Amino acid sequence: MRTLILITMTALLAFTTACDDDDANNTSNTNNTSNVNNTSNVNNTSNLGYCGDSLVKGDEECDDGNFQSGDGCSSTCTLEYQCGDGVAEFTEACDIEDFRAQTCVSRGYLQGELYCDDTCTLDDASCTDDATGLDILAWYKLDSLSGQEYNTATSTNLCIPHSLNEGAGAIIRQYPAVIGSGIFFDGSFDLRGFMDCGPGYNGMEQLTVEAWVEVGTYPLDLAMIVSSVASYDATGLAFYMGLNGDFKLEAAVGDWDNVAVSSSNIITREWHHVAFTYDGTEIRIYVDAELDSTTPHAVGAVPTLDSASSRVYVASNYLQNMAETEHFYTGGLDELKIWSTARTAEEICADAGGLFSDDTCHFSFF
Kindly state whether residue 195 participates in binding Ca ion, applying the rule CB under 5 A: no
- Binding characters for Ca ion, 303-342, by CB under 5 A (x = yes): -------------------------------x--------
Q: Which of 5, 13, 14, 87 binds Ca ion (CB under 5 A)?
A: 87
The residues in 165-194 that bind Ca ion, with binding defined as CB under 5 A, are 179-180
Q: How far is the CB of 312 from Ca ion (least distance, A)?
A: 17
Q: Considering the rule CB under 5 A, would residue 68 count as an interface residue with Ca ion?
A: yes
Find the binder of Ca ion among 61, 71, 205, 221 (CB under 5 A): 71
- The amino acid sitting at 212 is W
* Cis check: omega of the bond before 282, within 30 degrees of 0: no
Residue 12 or 87: the one with the smaller Cβ distance to Ca ion is: 87
Return the number of the residue (89 or 279) whose C-beta is nearest Ca ion: 89
Question: Comparing C-alpha atoms, which of 303, 299, 226, 291 is closest to residue 263?
Answer: 291
Residues in the interface with Ca ion (CB under 5 A) total 15
Nearest approach in angstroms of CB 8 to Ca ion is 32
As measured in angstroms, the least distance from the Cβ of 107 to Ca ion is 11
Counting contacts by CB under 5 A, is residue 97 touching Ca ion?
no
Q: Considering the complex, state which of residue 239 and residue 271 has its C-beta at the smaller distance from Ca ion.
A: 271
Q: Which of 38, 49, 57, 64 binds Ca ion (CB under 5 A)?
A: 64
| Cβ-Cβ contacts under 8 Å for 268 (sequence gap 6 or more) | 215, 216, 217, 218, 331
Residue choice 61, 85, 97, 117 for contact with Ca ion (CB under 5 A): 85
Give CA 268 to chain center in angstroms: 17
For residues 331 and 77, is the Cβ–Cβ distance under 8 A? no
C-beta atoms surrounding 341 within 10 Å:
18
List the beta bridge partners of residue 112: 127
238: amino acid identity, one letter: A
Minimum Å distance from CB 84 to Ca ion? 7
Classify the phi-psi angles of 170: left when phi > 0, otherwise alpha if psi is within -120 to 50, otherwise beta. Answer: beta
Residue 262: CA atoms inside 13 Å, Cβ hemisphere, count? Answer: 27
How many Å apart are CA 59 and CA 314, to the nearest integer? 59
Beta carbon of residue 334, minimum distance to Ca ion (angstroms, whole number):
5
Per CB under 5 A, 234 contacts Ca ion: no
**What is the spatial distance between Cα 240 and Cα 120, in angstroms, rounded to a whole number?**
43
The one-character DSSP state at 18 is H
In DSSP notation, 243-279 reads EETTSEEEEEES-SSS-EEEEEE--TTSEEEEEEEE-
Residue 149 makes contact with Ca ion by CB under 5 A = no
Which of 73, 302, 305, 315 is in the footprint of Ca ion by CB under 5 A? Answer: 73
**Residue ranges in contact with Ca ion by CB under 5 A:** 64, 66, 68, 71, 73, 81, 85, 87, 95, 141-143, 179-180, 334
